[in-house]
Amino acid sequence: MIDELGIRDLGVIAEATLPLGSGFTAVTGETGAGKTMVVTALGLLLGARADAGAVRSGAKQAWVEGRWLVPDDGPVAERVAETGGEIEAGELLLGRSVSSEGRSRAVVGGRSAPIGVLTELGEELVVVHGQADQQRLRSAVAQRDALDRFAGAGLQAALTEYRAAFTAWHADAAELERLTQAHDERLREAAALREALDEIEAADPRPGEDVELSERADRLSNLEDLRLAAAQAHTLISADEIVDDAPDAVTLVDGAKRHLERVVEHDAALAPIREALQNAGFLLADAAAELGAYLAGLDADGARELEVVQERRALLTSLIRRHGSTLDEVLDFGRTGGLRLVELDGDDERIEQLAASVDDGAIVVDRLAGRVSELRTDAAGRLAAAVTVELAALAMPDARLTVLVDSEHEPAVHGRDQVAILLQPHPGAEPRSVSKGASGGELSRVMLAIEVVIAGTDPVPTFVFDEVDAGVGGAAAIEIGRRLARLAERSQVIVVTHLAQVAAFATNHLSVVKGTDGRVTESSVRRLEGPDREAEMARLLSGLAESESGLAHARELLELAAERATTG
């Protein structure tokens, strides 16, 4: 349960601390004092969307903090631990800030956390009912959810098994439909892919072959220039015969070396020069030999070889143009295309397998959906009977509730059932869906009756009701108060109300008090006891907090509430 709620700069509330605790807490106050900010504050702690407009005028940010008393183990403790937060001595602190620019931050157990964590924790901690939630009861989804909560663990186990089977069956059916619809297209893809792979296999390209061919073509295209340059260089280095009385390089170097050998003994400094000339002679001889081998190795029929190379280059260029932007991409296409072709060629077998799986899955889904329908139908009768009893106690003695389960629908993730809650307000009236025929006051009481009944099978730590008494008064309001008190025997109940008949049953009465400095309205919250509570009750009854008749009526109402709460 939530033990204490702190609010700062939210709406008209400058700063307030709400001592809540167990039992039934009623929150009252004058119109515009900010009662609904209490529900807004709780909503923020439970992950509701942040609204910068809720920040008090002139403040930079609003801050809300709640202290919950929770078990040290269980889903709440596990989720808090996952975020790095801590629960100390059974106390969990949740915080939420909202800046005037709309930025929001959450704190869970002393550590910053995503806002979504608050939403997850809120699903375990609190059920909030405002007027919007009462209207939500008009939806078929909300009516089915209410029935499922009442049905309890047995239905939840059946639903879990059903959903697993439905999800697998639905996935297989979707895959089968996709493959079947795309079958012809995939056949065309396979044929085109097979043709491309055959073309690549026939060409049998090698990595880097396009570069090699380019270099080879360049060499063959300039074969005569290469031959002439090599021959001239070979002649200048080492000629077989002297041309125009011009000695070759080998002869010149050898002559220079012999000149130095004649005088080297007279000056040792010439020795390394002579040795260098000797080495140069060796290098020139090697170069001449290599040029001779190069000339001997030049293609005799370069034109024919060039034609062959160009044909091969044209073939590779065609492959690149059709199957990639480079030869490496063509080779990659060949590898991945083979895997894709295996996949496409297996379509018929896969379709056959999926069809069998879908048929088998449909049988399983139908059987499990039938079990879910049986459990819902059984629970529907029990829920209708129990809620009808509660409605009689809520000043609707002739009303009768019926819960219909229509199982003639296509399977969906929730089963194949459509659930409708019908209300017959009095004998002779035609039962009508609460989505159409219930007034605001009737809907409030139906919702409360359902929650009281469901709490017996699906207990919730904390209930928050905002204007649950909308559209009712008199005896009906007294019975609403008594039923809220009964609900508070099992759960913490927090109610924002404007009816004294409801507030009278509270074990903890808080008042949102409005003050003003002449410019900005500010509100705070205080706990009411004794004469202060009587005065607030008198104000709720008559609008006059100090009226003797109003005070007398307030005391009478408090005594009545205490007596009825005791007798149940």
Closest CA to 558 of 511, 503, 513: 503
Distances from the Cα of 100 to the Cα of 15, 37, 524, angstroms: 17, 16, 21
In angstroms, the first-to-last Cα distance of the chain is 23
For 376, residues 6+ apart whose C-beta sits below 8 A from its C-beta are: 147, 148, 151, 155, 405, 415, 417, 419
Strand partners, 65: 6, 95
In angstroms, the CA 207 to CA 519 distance is 83
3-state secondary structure of 407: coil
In angstroms, the CA 489 to CA 493 distance is 9
In angstroms, the CA 174 to CA 17 distance is 54
Q: What is the pTM of this model?
A: 0.62
Residue type, 441: G
- Is the Cβ–Cβ distance between 464 and 42 less than 8 Å? yes
Question: Which of the residues in the chain have pLDDT under 50?
Answer: none
Specify the pLDDT at position 505: 93
DSSP, res 232: H
Specify the pLDDT at position 347: 67
For 529, residues 6+ apart whose C-beta sits below 8 A from its C-beta are: 509
For 360, residues 6+ apart whose C-beta sits below 8 A from its C-beta are: none
Specify the pLDDT at position 366: 95
Specify the pLDDT at position 437: 61
Specify the pLDDT at position 244: 61
Distances from the Cα of 215 to the Cα of 211, 304, 310, 321, 327, angstroms: 6, 16, 11, 20, 16
Specify the pLDDT at position 194: 81
In angstroms, the CA 16 to CA 25 distance is 16
75-82 and 115-125 helices, crossing angle to 10°: 170
Residue type, 296: A
Write out the two tokens for 375. 């459990």
Write out the two tokens for 561. 């509430």
Question: What is the number of other CB atoms lying within 10 angstroms of the CB of residue 404?
Answer: 16
Q: Could you write out the DSSP letters of every residue in 525-560?
A: EEEE-HHHHHHHHHHHHHS-TT-HHHHHHHHHHHHH
In angstroms, the CA 91 to CA 71 distance is 8
Closest CA to 537 of 521, 559, 522, 517: 559
Residue type, 391: L
Specify the pLDDT at position 114: 92
Specify the pLDDT at position 411: 93
- Burial tier of 335 (Cβ tally within 10 Å: 0-12, 13-18, 19+): exposed
- Is the Cβ–Cβ distance between 511 and 529 less than 8 Å? no
